[in-house]
Amino acid sequence: MIRDANREDRVTMTFGQRNAWVSAVVMPAASIAYLAVVLPRLGDRPAAEVSWVGPMLWTIGATVVGTIVGTILISIAAAITNRDVESKGDVRDKQIDRYGDRLAQAITAFGGAVVLALVMFEVDHFWIGNALFVIGAIGATWGAVAKIRAYHGVFNG
């Protein structure tokens, strides 16, 4: 965050902070939409017969596109509203980014162990794929939330 020289009470967000906000909104929204489409299908058929691959691929694609478009739009809005303020990242941004990424990777690594156990027990592909998807979404979301919290002063990195 960089203080505006013209207005002491105004703080602009760096690109990293804006990107964390976009990720913290897009990832859970897309994941909830995916689960809202796929989970009801379990009510009337076995997991092995549930069509989940297409919706998951669409969700992953929508998440990528949504993050890119959201980041572009919020960056344009920030550039318009903060024309005279520099919002480049600094060392703190790099530290916060690494902090959030480490947290996301730790959650994803734990999830990898869960998925490995599901494979060892020969659980249906539906559960394996969805476990990996949900754990990845949780890791990415929690990493973004950790970055946002770090930008607001709750940083242990």
Q: For 67-89, how does the pLDDT look when each residue is reduced to its tens digit (9 = 90+)?
A: 999 999 998 998 888 776 666 66
- Quick count: other Cβ atoms within 10 Å of Cβ 126? 19
Residue found by looking up tokens 């990493």 in the block: 143
Query: What integer best gives the mean pLDDT of the chain?
Result: 89
Model pTM? 0.84
Map residue 88 onto helix, strand or coil: coil
- Map tokens 């489409």 to a residue: 37
pLDDT of residue 156: 54
- Contact between residue 157 and residue 110 where contact means Cβ atoms under 8 Å apart: no
Please report which helix (H) or strand (E) contains residue 152, including its range: none
* Model pLDDT for residues 41-64, shown as the tens digit of each residue: 999 999 999 999 999 999 999 999
